[in-house]
């Protein structure tokens, strides 16, 4: 037999809560794998057995299904994290990683984190009180508010004060857009470590495109204030944060690069130089964090991939020049076609090809009308600009 198919995520969570209350019977502990949920470890097979109580009215006998691969695959399919027991000690040495969220319509999170070294933040999910620890890592999230496509991670902090009751949020009242600062709340004290409001800001759309972080709970259940990340998500988010806007003083400042270029050369030559330097910049690194190959032909050798701007560098603002949504990874052939307006893409990602390219040229350059790419909302907005101002359908 196999695990009953009607057991769902809610049943498993109820099972975990029952285990929290009653513990794990002798000889039902896991020997190799553990289910990791909200910072705690549980025996996967026993959790599934108990979950059947909430799905079908009785504990499911462990003799009717196997642990290991079958149980782990089932739980992963419901969105749970499974770790090897030998790895547990490694995970326990690491602090928790969190995402704390604010709605910019209600609270000015941008200026709050920018203006202060230490901040207070509400812990709305009370169940986290016994889990959050000093030195835990907290990423600060600005929701979309009333501006679609603007949400994402703008700061990294760490916990320096454990949860405590606070009578109000008067110290931050200037950043509130309503009177909620007057209300008592359970607060956590944080030290602001890094702020990336413009360069390095991790957009929600970038996370949706990420092969691991697209399963972050905040992307599907966005009404909470506090989110605890799994170890896998913690590792991947830290990697993405580290490469987002990670230029050091010794690296090229791409925004100011034009100043360094001889003013006597033509604008076309200037842009070519800038574009070649961008190939080694944070813009390409940011794209490589979410894409791994040419969008059209699949070329994956990074040496030959071009970080192509959808809206050209010369016509973009400084913020647009570094916005990863204003980019596609393309091979040199397809970059040249896209850059010169011989190809573009419709809203659904279908390729548009200029009538000026005959069939032989299309075959030689490896383009055809069946090609299609996936784009997030931010890329779709830039592509509208490309279709209207760059693409030459008849030329």
pLDDT grade, residue 23 (50/70/90)? confident
- pLDDT in the model for residue 85: 63
* Interval 76-122: pLDDT, tens: 989 888 887 654 444 444 579 999 999 999 999 999 998 899 999 99
Q: What is the rounded distance in angstroms from the CA atom of residue 283 to the CA atom of residue 186?
A: 39
Q: Structurally, how many domains does the chain consist of?
A: 3
* Interval 284-300: pLDDT, tens: 777 887 788 999 999 98
Q: Which domain holds residue 359?
A: 257-389
pLDDT grade, residue 313 (50/70/90)? confident
* Nearest alpha-carbon partner for 152 in 202, 221, 98: 202
- Does residue 348 have a pLDDT over 50? yes
> At which of 217, 243, 269 does a domain end?
243
- Does residue 41 have a pLDDT over 70? yes
In the numeric block, the tokens 């791994």 are attached to 292
Whether residues 142 and 213 fall in one domain:
yes
Given 3-state DSSP classes, what are the helix, strand and coil percentages for the chain, each rounded to the nearest 5? 40, 20, 40
Tokens at 26, concatenated: 């002798």
Whether residues 228 and 311 fall in one domain:
no
- pLDDT in the model for residue 217: 92
* Residue 113 zone, left/alpha/beta (φ > 0; ψ -120 to 50; rest): alpha
Q: Point out which residues pair with 83 in neighbouring strands.
A: 34
Q: What is the DSSP string of 101-131?
A: EE-TTTB-HHHHHHH-SEEEEE---GGGTTT
Whether residues 101 and 184 fall in one domain:
yes
Contacts of 116 (CB under 8 A, 6+ apart): 192
Whether residues 14 and 141 fall in one domain:
no
In a domain, 251, yes or no: no
Whether residues 178 and 61 fall in one domain:
no
In a domain, 209, yes or no: yes
What average pLDDT does the segment 319-342 reach?
A: 89
pTM of the model: 0.46
Whether residues 75 and 101 fall in one domain:
no
* Nearest alpha-carbon partner for 205 in 381, 11, 21: 381
Whether residues 225 and 263 fall in one domain:
no
In a domain, 333, yes or no: yes
- Does residue 26 have a pLDDT over 50? yes
Q: What is the CATH number of the domain that holds 150?
A: 3.10.590.10
> At which of 91, 109, 136 does a domain end?
91
- pLDDT in the model for residue 22: 86
Whether residues 69 and 113 fall in one domain:
no
* Interval 237-283: pLDDT, tens: 988 888 775 433 333 344 344 444 444 455 555 555 555 444 445 67
């Amino acid at each position: 037999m196999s695990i009953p198919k009607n057991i769902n995520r809610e049943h498993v969570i109820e099972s975990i809560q029952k285990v929290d209350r009653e513990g794990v019977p002798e000889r039902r502990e896991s020997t190799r794998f553990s289910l990791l949920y909200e910072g705690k470890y549980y025996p996967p097979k026993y959790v599934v057995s108990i979950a059947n109580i909430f799905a079908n009215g009785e504990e499911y006998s462990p003799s009717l299904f196997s642990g290991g691969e079958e149980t782990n695959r089932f739980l992963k399919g419901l969105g749970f994290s499974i770790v090897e027991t030998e790895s547990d000690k490694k995970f326990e040495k690491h602090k928790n990683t969190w995402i704390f969220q604010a709605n910019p319509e209600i609270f000015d999170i941008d200026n709050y984190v920018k203006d202060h070294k230490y901040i207070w933040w509400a812990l709305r999910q009370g169940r986290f009180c016994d889990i959050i620890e000093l030195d835990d890592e907290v990423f600060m999230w600005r929701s979309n508010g009333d501006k679609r496509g603007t949400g994402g991670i703008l700061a990294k902090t760490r916990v320096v004060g454990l949860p405590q009751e606070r009578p109000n949020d008067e110290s931050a009242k200037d950043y509130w857009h309503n009177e909620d600062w007057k209300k008592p709340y359970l607060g956590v004290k944080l030290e602001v470590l890094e702020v990336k409001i413009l360069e390095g800001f991790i957009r929600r759309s970038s996370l949706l495109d990420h092969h691991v972080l697209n399963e972050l709970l905040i992307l599907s259940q966005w009404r909470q204030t506090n989110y605890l990340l799994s170890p896998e998500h913690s590792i991947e988010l830290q990697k993405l944060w580290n490469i987002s806007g990670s230029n050091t003083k010794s690296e090229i400042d791409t925004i100011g690069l034009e100043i360094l270029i001889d003013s006597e050369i033509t604008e076309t030559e200037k842009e070519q130089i800038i574009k070649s330097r961008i190939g080694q910049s944070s813009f390409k690194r940011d794209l490589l964090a979410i894409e791994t190959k040419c969008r059209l032909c699949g070329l994956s050798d990074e040496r030959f991939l071009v970080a192509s701007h959808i809206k050209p560098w010369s016509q973009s603002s400084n913020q647009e020049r570094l916005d990863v949504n204003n980019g596609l990874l393309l091979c040199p052939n397809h970059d040249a076609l896209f850059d010169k307006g011989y190809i573009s893409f419709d809203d659904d990602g279908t390729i548009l090809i200029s009538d000026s390219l005959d069939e032989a040229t299309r075959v030689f350059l490896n383009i055809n009308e069946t090609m299609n790419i996936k784009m997030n909302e931010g890329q779709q907005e830039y592509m509208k600009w490309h279709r209207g101002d760059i693409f030459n359908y008849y030329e």
